[in-house]
Amino acid sequence: MGLVVFLVLLGVFFLVVELIFLPGVTFGTILSVVSYVAAVYLGFDRFGIVGGFVTMVVVVALSLVATVISLRAKTWQRLALNDKIDGQSSEQPAKQVNVGDKGVALSRLSPMGKVKIAGKEYEAKSDGTYIDQRSEVEVVGFENFTVLVKKI
């Protein structure tokens, strides 16, 4: 009887560990299922049909209770990252550069490359034509963090 109870509790432990600490189906799930199957098998083997079915009911009930408690006990909130990140990788060029501004190509734009406008470097995309290095360019628009340019 003690071994069956131990295996059921071990299965519940591994289930809770799986739910809280290990995402996905990993060793916690496998060990939990193995413990449950061993407990149910021993329940049928040692205590007959009634003992086996009682063991199965206890396993299912404890699993449901452990799952509900693990998910409702604000366990996730204690383990979750609650910091808010409101920064961005770089400032959008549309805030610093205007359509019509002029600059120079720092690299060949074929069609992507680097340009220098008003003393700052930006990732740029040409209007479909190749633009050689050191050519003068004009801003014609913006696409996310890319400046759209054409050769002057």
pLDDT of residue 86: 73
pLDDT of residue 94: 80
Measured CA to CA, the distance from residue 131 to residue 63 in angstroms comes to 66
3-class SS at 29? Answer: helix
pLDDT of residue 17: 86
Measured CA to CA, the distance from residue 59 to residue 51 in angstroms comes to 12
Query: Side chain identity at 139, as an amino acid letter?
Result: V
pLDDT of residue 81: 66
Instruction: Tell whether pTM > 0.85.
Output: no
pLDDT of residue 84: 77
Chain centroid, CA 22 distance in Å: 14
pLDDT of residue 96: 85
* Neighbouring-strand partners of residue 146: 143
The count of other CB atoms within 10 Å of the CB of residue 151 is 15
Residue 3, CB-side half-sphere exposure with 13 Å CA sphere? 11
pLDDT of residue 57: 96
Q: What are the average pLDDT values for consecutive 10-residue runs of the chain, which has 152 residues?
A: 93 88 80 94 94 95 89 67 70 84 94 93 90 94 91 90
What superfamily would CATH give domain 94-151? Nucleic acid-binding proteins (2.40.50.140)
pLDDT of residue 73: 59
Domain ranges of the chain: 2-76, 94-151
